[in-house]
Amino acid sequence: MPIATRHLGRVDYLPTYAAMQAFTDARTAETPDSLWICEHFPVYTQGLAGKSDHILNAGDVPVVQANRGGQVTYHGPGQVVAYPLIDLRRAGYYIKEYVYKIEESVIATLAHFGVTGHRVTGAPGIYVRMNDPGSHAALIGPLNPADPFQGLGKIAALGIKVSRHCTYHGVALNVAMDLEPFSRINPCGYAGLETTDLSTIGVSASWQETADVLGQKLATYLAP
């Protein structure tokens, strides 16, 4: 059964969060999986493990408590947000594999634009080399504990929730956004972690083009 993709446009976070919960609570074994793709108005979202001291200065940006994993992140215009609503038991894979498939989808999307995405052990999300985003060289050995993100910028954030084997929340990929709000938090709980987007590393891709590529990659990688 193919995943049905829905494009929601630019929407407020809270009603979208509520709609994901309602969809998940109401779904049955026969409910088709869905992939929601959207853009949010500015908002900080705090994960279940989130510590308030990671929000340095929210200013006029609302802070919403969510039931996903992870710490605080920022959503705003110019960022593609994808919410896969998948029945993992029916799809036939476990949470760890699900996360891996989402990461692979982002890495494949970045590769489409000539950018190499990297995983950092123990720090979910996808990162790029700021000074050489197209480099295929692997990240070698343990990173410097004093500065584990030296030279890297975070370009995609991941946070998921699984309820009765069904997923919601998802992944956010930065395309061309105002990155200043990230400086007012410790992104994903890491002080000083640089956040970047495609435009900052020299890729002139539109939001829609990026959303289309990411949506296609997610639908392919997450298929049962």
φ, ψ (nearest 5 deg) of residue 59: 60, -130
Q: Are strands 34-40 and 4-11 parallel, antiparallel or unpaired?
A: parallel
Closest C-alpha among 16, 52, 37 to residue 171: 37
Tokens of 34: 């869905």
Catalytic annotation, residues? 188
Tokens of 120: 């950092």
